[in-house]
């Protein structure tokens, strides 16, 4: 954001009701908020000010306007511009202490975004890089290294960046170092003054200065937290270290431990998927599982509860409860069977692209997501143009593309359900159009905030997330393009323009079908592929 002026709301909106105007807005007179989010008065935290004059109309109280403020493009803009320094609330808003609390809120918000990023990464090496970055950010450390237990006899191996190069580090799996202790004792080790004496109160862990010699630094504080596999055994250690900054506190340790739980699962999964062919085949499953998250949570929730009910009912001799629980159990099992059938039908095949009828694929995606939609109280419908019956395209890619798009659309549906319609129709020339009309939120916010999923410069992030960016990535591989029509608030429309082939054209090479580039970013430029409602976007980005 360097060079971009940070506007106050009256400047962004052009309402002319700044502090020097004859009729200043409430936000422009709130001197107590001066400087918050780098604004003048409450010009960059206006959502906390009651009775502001946004859009020419007096707004209500903080609570009244909260819903509209939190989806406002100016709110998103400030959030994007401030990054980690963003402050959502101000003093007096039910918050009574100093900036540390705001920092904690920001930290928690940013922390909540981590699992999705981690679990969408299938490549172990890239995942370890991601963990290193995120761990470092999570505790504001100067550096971080992730060690994995490897080899026979086992040692802790990691890599650290030194002068732009990756330097391998190896530490014995023994109690001769803080890192080794964290792995062997299976608990965090917080070394507060490694070169002092008696510096780690209540702990017998000694810092091994050979670690610094290996890394070419002098450590002043070190936090080493074990990462576990699903069986609870340590499979590695995440370290965060400082040379200039201070020691790590109890909060840092808590965040790192929570982070390590997610990291352990992601490492284990990536290890299982080390075979890239397997990773490719399982991409469909991964995306489907993510797209069906609500539904699967519901099923797991029911199974959990039913196991408990049956156990309790058997103990108490309540046979009627056992019977009723078993009936519900049967229905949950049927849900799982239906979902797994729907997904396994589209497991990626090893034999190259396979064509399928467009309408059939669309119907299958809608069928796959029917349970998810129902769990979200969303009505999901398809309206298929029968004149497209002979139109074909690469079925697995299209299935994955629609699955990702609809997963995003369902996630953005209002809590009171909503309606999503998937339509097919003929487009220009040899093209079909799949339209998705939803009454939830569209990509308007991403457009307004310049979020990476839709913009240049951050493609790596864009292509690794499950959802809309991945849909766009797959659509490009299909030779298609996406248009989105979305404004502030609910209502969104997406149009996928796809090249199709006639089913009787057996020898035709599928037009526009390219091998799917790896989901490693950099390959997909999305600029220019998105057409959006012009007037609104100009306003949003203003």
* Residues engaged in binding another protein (CB under 8 A): 63, 66-67, 70-71, 79, 109, 112-113, 116, 293-294, 297-298, 300-306, 308-309, 312-313, 316, 318, 321, 324-325, 328, 331-332, 375-377, 411-412, 414-417, 441, 445
Residue 385 Cβ vs another protein, minimum distance, rounded to whole Å? 29
- The nearer residue to another protein, 335 or 400, going by C-beta atoms, is 335
Structure tokens at 189: 């080790």
Is residue 139 within 8 A of residue 248, CB to CB? The reply is yes
- Rounded to a whole number of angstroms, the minimum distance from the CB of residue 294 to another protein is 5
Measured CA to CA in angstroms, residue 435 lies from 67, 200, 452, 493, 541 at distances of: 28, 61, 24, 7, 26
Tell me the closest approach of the beta carbon of residue 439 to another protein, in angstroms. Answer: 13
CB 8 within 8 A of CB 40: yes
- Give the nearest distance from C-beta 146 to another protein in angstroms: 23
- Smallest gap from Cβ 361 to another protein, in A, equals 26
**Sequence-ordered list of residues with C-beta below 8 angstroms from that of 513, at least 6 positions apart, any chain:** 353, 393, 394, 397, 477, 478, 479
Cα–Cα distance between 29 and 41 in angstroms, integer? 6
- The nearest distance, CB 481 to another protein, in angstroms, is 26
Minimum CB distance to another protein smaller for 17 or for 90: 90
Select 116 or 354, whichever has its Cβ closest to another protein.
Answer: 116
Closer by beta carbon to another protein, 206 or else 303: 303
DSSP 160: E
Using the minimum distance from each CB to another protein, give the nearer residue, 66 or 210: 66
Q: Find, among 468, 457, 477, 458, the residue nearest to 518 by Cα.
A: 477
Q: What is the closest distance, in whole angstroms, from the C-beta atom of residue 113 to another protein in the complex?
A: 5
Q: 3-state SS of 272-333?
A: HCCCHHHHHHHHHHHHHHHHCHHHHHHHHHHHHHHHHHHHHHHHHCCHHHHHHHHHHHHHHH
Task: For 233, list phi and psi in degrees, rounded to 5.
Answer: -80, 145
- Strands, DSSP E only, in 129-233? 143-150, 155-162, 165-172, 189-191, 221-228
Nearer Cβ to another protein (291/512): 291
Q: Decide whether 213 or 307 has the Cβ nearer to another protein.
A: 307
Cα dihedral sign for 197, 200, 202, 207? negative
DSSP code for 205: -
**Cis peptide bond N-terminal to 153, omega within 30:** yes
* Residue number, 79 or 192, with CB nearest to another protein: 79
Output the smallest distance, CB 428 to another protein, in A.
34
What's the Rg (C-alpha) of the chain?
A: 27
**91 alpha carbon, distance to own chain's centre:** 30
Which residue, 396 or 471, has its beta carbon nearer to another protein?
Answer: 471
The distance of closest approach from Cβ of residue 311 to another protein in the complex, given in angstroms and rounded to an integer, is: 9
């Amino acid at each position: 954001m360097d060079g971009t002026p940070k506007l106050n709301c009256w400047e962004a909106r052009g309402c002319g009701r700044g502090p020097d105007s004859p009729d200043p807005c409430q936000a422009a007179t709130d001197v107590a908020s001066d400087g918050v989010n780098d604004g003048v008065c409450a010009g960059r935290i206006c959502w906390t000010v009651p009775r502001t004059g946004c859009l020419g109309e007096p707004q209500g109280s903080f609570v009244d306007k909260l819903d509209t403020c939190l989806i406002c493009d100016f709110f998103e803009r400030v959030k994007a511009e401030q990054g980690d320094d963003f402050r959502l609330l101000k003093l007096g808003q039910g918050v009574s202490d100093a900036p540390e609390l705001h920092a904690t809120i920001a930290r928690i918000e940013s922390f909540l975004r981590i699992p999705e990023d981690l679990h969408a990464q299938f490549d172990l090496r890239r995942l370890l890089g991601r963990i290193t970055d995120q761990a470092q950010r999570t505790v504001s450390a100067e550096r971080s290294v992730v060690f994995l237990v490897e080899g026979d006899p086992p040692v802790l191996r990691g890599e650290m960046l030194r002068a732009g190069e990756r330097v391998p580090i190896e530490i014995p799996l023994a109690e001769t170092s803080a890192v080794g202790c964290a792995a062997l004792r299976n608990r965090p080790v917080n070394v507060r003054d490694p070169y002092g004496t008696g510096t780690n109160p209540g702990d017998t862990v000694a810092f091994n200065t050979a670690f610094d010699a290996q890394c070419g630094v002098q450590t002043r504080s070190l936090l080493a937290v074990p990462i576990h596999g699903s069986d609870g055994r340590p499979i590695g250690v995440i370290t965060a270290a400082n040379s200039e900054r201070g020691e790590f506190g109890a909060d840092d340790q808590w965040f790192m431990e929570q982070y390590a739980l997610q990291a352990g699962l992601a490492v284990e999964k990536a290890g299982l998927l080390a075979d890239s062919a397997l990773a490719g085949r399982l991409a469909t499953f991964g995306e489907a599982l993510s797209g069906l998250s609500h539904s699967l949570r519901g099923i797991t929730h029911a199974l959990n509860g039913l196991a408990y009910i049956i156990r309790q009912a058997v103990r108490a001799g309540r046979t009627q409860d056992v019977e009723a629980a078993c009936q519900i159990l049967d229905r949950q099992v049927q849900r799982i069977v239906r979902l797994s059938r729907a997904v396994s039908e589209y497991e990626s095949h090893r034999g190259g692209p396979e064509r399928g009828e467009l309408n059939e694929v669309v119907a299958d995606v809608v069928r796959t997501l029917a349970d998810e939609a129902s769990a979200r109280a969303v009505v999901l419908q398809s309206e298929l143009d029968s004149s497209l019956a002979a139109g074909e395209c690469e079925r697995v890619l299209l299935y994955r593309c629609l699955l990702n798009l609809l997963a995003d659309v369902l996630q953005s549906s209002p809590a009171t359900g909503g309606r999503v319609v998937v339509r097919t129709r003929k487009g220009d020339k040899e093209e079909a159009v799949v339209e998705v009309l939803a009454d939830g939120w569209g990509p308007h916010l991403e457009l307004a905030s310049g979020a990476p999923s839709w913009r240049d410069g951050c493609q790596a992030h864009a292509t690794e997330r499950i959802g809309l960016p991945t849909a766009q990535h797959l659509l490009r591989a299909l030779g298609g393009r996406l248009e989105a029509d979305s404004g502030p608030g609910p209502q969104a429309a997406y149009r996928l323009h796809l090249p199709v082939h006639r089913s009787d054209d057996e020898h035709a090479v599928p037009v526009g079908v390219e091998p799917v580039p790896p989901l490693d970013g950099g390959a997909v430029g999305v600029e220019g592929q998105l057409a959006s409602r012009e007037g609104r976007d100009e306003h949003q980005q203003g």
